[in-house]
């Protein structure tokens, strides 16, 4: 039987606030365990939480960019469960009345655009972090350590509709969303560090069937690459069970990225298991409309708007997408274009040689002393005919390696293109003289030989001849 895959994602993003969700402890990653804690975030008796306004602002900004409706009133709720990383035995989250609802995000997979519904965006607090000794998870571990630094970190949860139809779509959705969140500067969206996490609900149903099949939830997806892998593994498992006439059990499953398989963790909880009720210590979130409008005005250019603008500057669609996916590269292009460089040329250099250099040397463009003005300078030298493309590449690598200005490198090396045509003509005549066989072939009608002769001129000038001038002068020398 042919099955259709149905996927919905819950993405959790840690918000870039200075302090935690309901207390003034610093919200930062990588500190000594259990140092950024206080009576509020460790759930001591008699304390009162206070909502972090910045977290509300960042979540509203996200909701607006996702075309959601920001609700006039939303309520925090207590979600009860018992786990060693949760000192209060409850998590403050939002349940019946979330911050924002009913939006969408457009994704593009292999040139096809699709709108994925966003069910809701809500705020909650993060739990602590368990560090297991001797195993990757609590089951099978010799012991587990608890770090409460993360407890109470502001989390935003973005829940999608079950609109995704393949593991690949799910991966593209998550990457598109993460990129949007980086543009909005609401999170750094690093899956490997846990500042962005993704739980996936997946089910299969016979093609044409309107009713959803039984779903499972996949957890422990720790990288963008793992999303597609985890869902492919779970999709395959569903298909095998169903095609053998078996039934899927609704449960939470753990993805092991070494074996690339999922294993059962626990029976899926239902909402009533959490005994949700409104948090009595917090007032509802009622953002004034004027404030929402002010937040809306702070949303800058969004990734897809930027892509459209780059395409308008004659950058190819695929190149524009690559640049927009890497904000520092896109910022670099904008800065270079402002200095007069042509966008498609800048795009080629950025995606080509500059990215290759950064990858090879495991460096970030921002970490090199190579500002946009230097690339603009280099491109001007090519356009003016001072540098050939080949020499310009050498200058680029020297600039990237040493951090020296392009002008200085060019002046010191004498690598400028030979513009004295008399000098070039002499070299052309010598090339003709020393390659009689090829000259004969050329004169016999084999025009492709010209490439070889131009190559010889490049060799003789160490790449300092302009290829067009070389071709023209060779033809002159050939008579």
Contacts of 443 (CB under 8 A, 6+ apart): 478
Is the Cβ of residue 8 or residue 154 nearer to Zn ion in the bound state? 154
3-class DSSP string for 326-355: CHHHHHHHHHHHHCCCCHHHHHHHHHHHHH
Shortest spacing between CB 275 and Zn ion, in angstroms: 24
Shortest spacing between CB 131 and Zn ion, in angstroms: 20
What's the rounded Cα separation, in Å, for the pair 192 and 183? 19
Helix 289-297 and helix 53-65: axis angle, to 10°? 70
Q: CA angle at residue 218 from 14 to 236, to 5 degrees?
A: 145
Is the Cβ of residue 32 or residue 113 nearer to Zn ion in the bound state? 32
Shortest spacing between CB 39 and Zn ion, in angstroms: 7
Shortest spacing between CB 151 and Zn ion, in angstroms: 8
Shortest spacing between CB 60 and Zn ion, in angstroms: 23
First CA to last CA distance, the chain: 73
Contacts of 181 (CB under 8 A, 6+ apart): 13, 62, 187, 189, 196
Is the Cβ of residue 23 or residue 230 nearer to Zn ion in the bound state? 23
Is the Cβ of residue 124 or residue 377 nearer to Zn ion in the bound state? 124
Shortest spacing between CB 20 and Zn ion, in angstroms: 5
List the structure tokens of 367: 């970490």
Is the Cβ of residue 52 or residue 74 nearer to Zn ion in the bound state? 52
Is the Cβ of residue 26 or residue 312 nearer to Zn ion in the bound state? 26
Strand partners, 472: none
DSSP 8-state code for residue 417: P
Is the Cβ of residue 25 or residue 333 nearer to Zn ion in the bound state? 25
Contact by Cβ (8 Å): 202, 6: yes
Inter-CA distances, 58 with 61, 107, 263, 274, 379, Å: 5, 22, 35, 27, 40
CA 424 to the chain's CA centroid:
49
Is the Cβ of residue 234 or residue 279 nearer to Zn ion in the bound state? 279
Shortest spacing between CB 276 and Zn ion, in angstroms: 23
Closest to 186 measured CA to CA, from 328, 295, 329, 321: 295
Contact by Cβ (8 Å): 15, 55: yes
Shortest spacing between CB 84 and Zn ion, in angstroms: 18
What's the rounded Cα separation, in Å, for the pair 386 and 464? 9
Shortest spacing between CB 348 and Zn ion, in angstroms: 50
Contact by Cβ (8 Å): 123, 99: yes
Q: CA angle at residue 367 from 363 to 370, to 5 degrees?
A: 105
Is the Cβ of residue 23 or residue 198 nearer to Zn ion in the bound state? 23
What's the rounded Cα separation, in Å, for the pair 293 and 279? 28
Is the Cβ of residue 21 or residue 399 nearer to Zn ion in the bound state? 21
Shortest spacing between CB 85 and Zn ion, in angstroms: 15
Shortest spacing between CB 128 and Zn ion, in angstroms: 12
CA atoms within 13 A on the CB side of 99: 26
The binding site for Zn ion (CB under 5 A) comprises 23, 25, 38, 40-41
Helix-strand-coil percent breakdown of the chain, rounded to 5? 40, 20, 35
Is the Cβ of residue 25 or residue 354 nearer to Zn ion in the bound state? 25
What's the rounded Cα separation, in Å, for the pair 390 and 469? 15
List the structure tokens of 64: 């607006």
Is the Cβ of residue 26 or residue 455 nearer to Zn ion in the bound state? 26
Shortest spacing between CB 16 and Zn ion, in angstroms: 17
What's the rounded Cα separation, in Å, for the pair 72 and 379? 53
What's the rounded Cα separation, in Å, for the pair 55 and 156? 8
């Amino acid at each position: 039987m042919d099955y259709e895959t149905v996927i919905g994602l819950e993405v959790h993003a840690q918000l870039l606030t200075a302090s935690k969700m309901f207390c003034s402890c610093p919200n930062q990653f990588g500190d000594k365990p259990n140092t950024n804690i206080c009576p509020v975030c460790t759930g001591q008796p008699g304390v009162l939480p206070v909502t972090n306004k910045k977290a509300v602002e960042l979540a509203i900004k996200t909701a607006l960019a996702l075309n959601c409706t920001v609700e006039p009133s939303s309520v925090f709720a207590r979600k009860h469960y018992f786990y060693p990383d949760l000192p209060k035995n409850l998590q403050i989250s939002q349940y019946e009345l979330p911050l924002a609802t009913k939006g969408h995000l457009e994704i593009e997979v292999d040139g096809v655009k699709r709108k994925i519904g966003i069910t809701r965006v809500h705020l909650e607090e993060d739990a602590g972090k368990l560090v297991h000794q001797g195993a990757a998870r609590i089951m099978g571990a010799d012991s587990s350590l608890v770090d409460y630094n993360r407890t109470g970190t502001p989390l935003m949860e973005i829940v999608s509709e079950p609109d995704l139809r393949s593991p690949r779509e799910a991966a593209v959705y998550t990457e598109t969303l993460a990129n949007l969140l980086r543009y909005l500067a609401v999170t750094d969206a690093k899956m490997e560090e846990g500042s962005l996490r993704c739980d996936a609900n997946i089910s299969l149903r016979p093609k044409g069937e309107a009713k959803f099949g039984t779903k499972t939830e996949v957890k422990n997806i720790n990288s963008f690459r793992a999303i597609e892998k985890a869902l492919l593994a779970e999709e395959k498992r569903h298909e095998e069970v169903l095609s053998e006439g078996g039934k899927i059990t609704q449960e939470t499953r753990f993805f092991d990225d070494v074996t690339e398989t999922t294993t059962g963790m626990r029976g899926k909880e239902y909402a009533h298991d959490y005994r949700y009720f409104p948090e009595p210590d917090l007032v509802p979130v009622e953002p004034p409309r004027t404030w929402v409008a002010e937040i809306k005005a702070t949303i800058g250019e969004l990734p897809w708007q930027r892509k459209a603008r780059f395409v308008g500057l004659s950058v190819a669609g695929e190149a524009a997408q690559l640049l927009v996916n890497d904000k520092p590269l896109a910022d670099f292009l904008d800065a270079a274009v402002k200095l007069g460089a042509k966008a498609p040329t800048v795009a080629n250099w950025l995606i080509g040689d500059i990215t290759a250099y950064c990858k090879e040397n495991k460096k970030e463009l921002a970490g090199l002393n190579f500002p946009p003005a230097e690339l603009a300078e280099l491109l001007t030298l090519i356009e003016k005919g001072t540098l050939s493309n080949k020499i310009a590449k050498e200058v680029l690598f020297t600039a990237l390696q040493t951090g020296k200005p392009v002008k200085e490198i060019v002046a010191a090396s004498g690598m400028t293109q030979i513009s004295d045509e008399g000098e070039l003509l002499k070299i052309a005549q010598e090339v003709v003289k020393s390659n009689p066989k090829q000259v004969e072939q050329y004169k016999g009608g084999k025009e492709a030989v010209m490439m070889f002769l131009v190559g010889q001129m490049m060799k003789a000038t160490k790449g300092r001849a302009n290829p067009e001038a070389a071709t023209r002068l060779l033809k002159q020398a050939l008579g």
